[in-house]
Chain A
């Protein structure tokens, strides 16, 4: 909201600079920035136009001589309203206008122009750019722009939070300044004797929906003369960011910005029955608002009618047909209190956020409706000559009672954590215009003012006290209290170990968008959870897998000059396992991918070496050996995201899968990358395995015995099958076994290969001798021979 500082001065003394004022209001919770402040704009001054003649080479331009009190400057000016003897704002060459616009010496159509006569738009006052800004004649030339314009146009930009409807007005802001500084707050000017002695006009108000419209005040004013508003009002509106239109519209807007209460002025001729009705719209009812938009309404929208046809969308916008015109002479004033939820629903469903709806949906002032009515009548009389000719009809079927709150000093100090004196409390209650009475020692019975709907409970008053006291003055505790908790502070602490291990292995952690297209999110074969109101179709569903994001990142990096990648992400994935909210399953996931070369040819490496499935297997081996102290087991399986896939388990616990990423996904993502190898773990299962405590095993003091077995086997037999068989036959004495060489050659026989296994035997109870090891070796040779047709290589 834009706030005119000059306007604030009507209600409270302001001696602060705009910046100081912004700071004060910000620290009161009304976040403020300086809007317009001309003090920094040097070389922009008041000046007299000595002469204005037609530019010799251009029809629409004028050649002006401008005098700044010392020198005369020639300026080419395009404004139609420039004339000799005007006093104007003149920007000399070298000056900088708002928006960083630098004024340079130029030639325009052959005539030199040294400076610029400014319009309101160029000065940032309004959008008016047709003509130059003309300032009062009695202004001395040569004055700094801030001396001339700051008194009228300096302003603040405020961000008012939704709980403070009262602060959406100049009076409300002035009240906050008065409370903080202890200065006096001026009342609104309302003329006395406005009530006519004889009521020549009547109007009836029927409220069909008292819940939607608890209060409706109306009155008729005759003999208004429509015309432009006086300069002071126009300037005030402009400064607060509103365009002056005519005195009737301006008066309603002025009161809105002045005291925050929205009113409406109708042409009374559009009320032939002299009746105002407030009712719910019928489903499908059509209505055209002032902005010439046609709306189709539903049964929740609230309408103002003239008894027959609708004239306004209550609290949101008036109708096109009932708007005041140049010829209007009798008007109906509406000053009502509409229910916040009703107005908000209406404004939301119609997509119309207006100055009026903004105030009603946050909670207007039910008593302010009366004040606003008289303020409108006052201004109509002063500015249009109109006279109230009816009584103020006040229909108030659903009285809004202010709450009565018991406020305790003890509660305030418990919450605040520091002492606050009784004197400060009582002074602040008064300045907040709270009606209070001491109800017992250090306890007050409080009735908040009707313009503060946010003050409903004791805690609201606690906040007001601490806010007015100043957050900067709240003492900061110098020590903290805590609680004994008997669980480890972070149930997912082991994820830290995973991060350490993976980054140590050379993986870079990534964070990807949760949202994907339905197509991409469905590749995993899972049913996706979809968003009703996505940002785009490419972001319509929630990811079911971390893999697509990582694949896209591989592609992105290669295209941006980084190849040979090892990446991982740890994050949440969602799937819809069955219908409904309970069917949405969220899981923590861990996914790693490798792509490109593991080693590049260099001084230490003879040849490029590509990543392979065995890189992933090696990394998983490190993860499991380091974090779980178990071997990983692999079992071939089917998986929609892999061309070849294996389940990975630690002990008996399956923790995820690993394999060669499906080329189908790479194509679906339209990526230009070749083979990718990946692992994908269920994070909770992995963490459970990590957190399971494995007891220490005593180190065997007995020597090891090493043996080698070189089997010749059919080429299609996997090393792991033989290895497992050897372990099974090993009577628990095999500490370690590993294939160390595989030799494939026709000399072994067609379709045969040899695998050389290295075996390490060790007992925990004694030194092993040949007579114990040899029978085991014989047994292994015999079993491998029987089951796999393996023979020892000669």
Chain B
């Protein structure tokens, strides 16, 4: 028999043997050594090559390599096939208690989740969403919002300066001004974004945080409507049984101004969650709206604060550490 024919024969006999192979360990080892071992059939074919016609040798070599490769691959595939089902099942059936196949677990940052929740509540009652610059001029961040230079109200917000007249916004209210400069009333927006305060970093304050600010301008928008709307908002976020109070406060850009508190059972005290008020007529004048015709309300809240209250997080720095043991809880 020529070597070519022998190769074919070994291929067929190996295939046949492999097909009838069982998961018996001894049988597997026997097959492996019979064909693939150092003194196995394939090795023996290689050694017979020396006797072949020299012209045929390259072709034979190629065919033998192919045979060896194919046999090895199909043998390993078959044997691997024996192993797994054994592990997955017991004599009483599939072992469903084994872990599932692992996939990496993703998560949305808690601040993103709270922001999304807030956006959902407001868009569901007809607010649009606007975005604006984090670095802005003094006019948009302060003056147009009725906070003149050298006004004590500037102390309420410690500011990072880029230069004398350019700041990292201290609130997203700068976007209010851009919106009103570029649009005619009526308008109704919330503005989420990152804001900056030059405060020492501690468990309760960070050099930046995230805010959602809102603005509604029309001809008839009252303090009473604002109160009802914000109560609705707070109940959507903290549950309908939450205790809420509005108390007078001061912001240069709203008048009357109010602070909204919710009652924290655990701490046994009121916790501030947002500031709001009717838009101050000076703000309207600064953007060329006639305050005798237009009125409205504005409000602003810190997402970190709401997240901390909602999830009972004690240290604001946790949000920026990105420890997976923290992130994986949300």
Contacts and interface: CB of A to CB of B under 8 A. Distances in A.
Contacts of A466: 223, 256
Contact of B128 (A474, A490, A539, A586): A490
Interface in B291-319: 291, 295, 319
Contacts of B324: 508, 557, 562, 565
Interface in B249-275: 249-250, 255-258
Interface in A460-485: 460, 462-463, 466-467, 471-472, 474-483, 485
A515 B133 CA distance: 16
Contact of B200 (A415, A535, A571): A535
B223 A509 contact: no
A775 interface: no
B134 A586 contact: yes
A547 B107 CA distance: 19
B41 interface: no
A257 B103 CA distance: 67
Contacts of A414: 220, 222, 295
B111 A471 contact: no
A492 B131 contact: yes
Contacts of A584: 135, 162, 166
Contacts of B280: 459
Contact of A509 (B109, B123, B168): B109
Nearest to B109: A509
Contacts of B249: 29, 31, 161
B220 A566 contact: no
A286 B255 CA distance: 43
B160 A513 contact: no
A503 B106 contact: yes
Interface string B144-173: 000000111101100011110110100000
B198 interface: yes
A417 B106 contact: no
Interface string B127-138: 111110111010
A505 B127 contact: no
Interface residues of B, number: 89
Interface stretch (B15-23, B30-38, B43-51, B94-102): B94-102
Contacts of A509: 106-109, 112, 327
B186 interface: yes
B194 to A, nearest CB: 7
A567 B128 CA distance: 30
Nearest to A477: B228
A166 B36 CA distance: 99
B222 A415 contact: yes
Contacts of B153: 162-163
Nearest to A572: B134
Nearest to A362: B152
Contact of A482 (B98, B126, B207): B126
Interface in A480-498: 480-483, 485, 487, 489-492, 496
B306 to A, nearest CB: 15
A499 interface: yes
A530 interface: yes
Contacts of A502: 106
Interface in B159-214: 160-163, 165-166, 168, 186-188, 194, 196, 198, 200-201, 207-208
B274 to A, nearest CB: 14
B302 to A, nearest CB: 14
A565 B161 CA distance: 36
Nearest to B219: A414
Residue of B130, B168, B319, B322 contacting most chain A CB atoms (<10 Å): B322
B229 interface: yes
Contacts of A341: 150
A463 B112 CA distance: 35
B133 A586 contact: yes
Interface stretch (A71-79, A328-336, A366-374, A599-607): A599-607
Residue of B187, B222, B328 contacting most chain A CB atoms (<10 Å): B222
Residue of A417, A491, A567, A584 contacting most chain B CB atoms (<10 Å): A417
A550 to B, nearest CB: 8
A534 interface: yes
A387 interface: no
A534 B101 contact: no
A407 to B, nearest CB: 14
Contacts, number: 247
Given A485-B128, A515-B207, A556-B321, A496 B116 contact: yes
Prevailing SS type, chain B contact patch? mixed
Contacts of B107: 503, 508-509
B245 interface: yes
A26 B247 contact: yes
Classify chain A: how many residues form its interface, as a range.
35 or more
Contacts of B87: 603
Interface string A528-543: 0111111100010010
B94 to A, nearest CB: 13
A245 interface: no
Residue of B111, B152, B245, B246 contacting most chain A CB atoms (<10 Å): B152
A584 B161 CA distance: 14
Contact of A416 (B104, B224, B250, B323): B224
B225 A162 contact: no
B31 to A, nearest CB: 21
A530 B208 CA distance: 16
A702 interface: no
Contacts of A26: 247
B78 interface: no
B228 A476 contact: yes
B135 A482 contact: no
A345 interface: yes
A22 B207 CA distance: 31
Contacts of A481: 218, 220-221, 225
A574 B162 CA distance: 12
B250 A162 contact: yes
Contacts of B112: 499, 509, 511
A60 B111 CA distance: 59
B322 A556 contact: yes
Given A483-B187, A490-B123, A557-B324, A477 B224 contact: yes
A460 B248 CA distance: 13
Contacts of A490: 119, 123, 128-129
Contacts of A163: 153, 250
Nearest to B106: A503
Contacts of B225: 417, 477, 480-481
A595 to B, nearest CB: 11
A777 interface: no
B131 A162 contact: no
A747 B134 CA distance: 62
Given A474-B246, A508-B106, A535-B207, A457 B198 contact: no
Contact of B156 (A162, A492, A529, A566): A162
Nearest to A413: B222
Contacts of A344: 150-152
A535 B161 CA distance: 11
A467 B106 contact: no
Contacts of B133: 586
A511 B248 CA distance: 34
Nearest to A342: B150
Contacts of B325: 560-562
Interface of A: 26-29, 31, 161-164, 340-341, 344-345, 348, 361-362, 414-418, 457, 459-460, 462-463, 466-467, 471-472, 474-483, 485, 487, 489-492, 496, 499, 502-515, 529-535, 539, 542, 553, 556-557, 560-562, 564-567, 571-572, 574, 581, 584, 586, 598-600, 602-605, 747
13 contacts: A345-B150, A415-B295, A416-B224, A459-B281, A463-B256, A491-B129, A491-B130, A530-B162, A533-B160, A564-B104, A572-B194, A574-B134, A604-B102
Given A31-B249, A341-B150, A477-B224, 7 more contacts: A162-B156, A459-B280, A479-B228, A531-B168, A533-B198, A535-B200, A586-B134
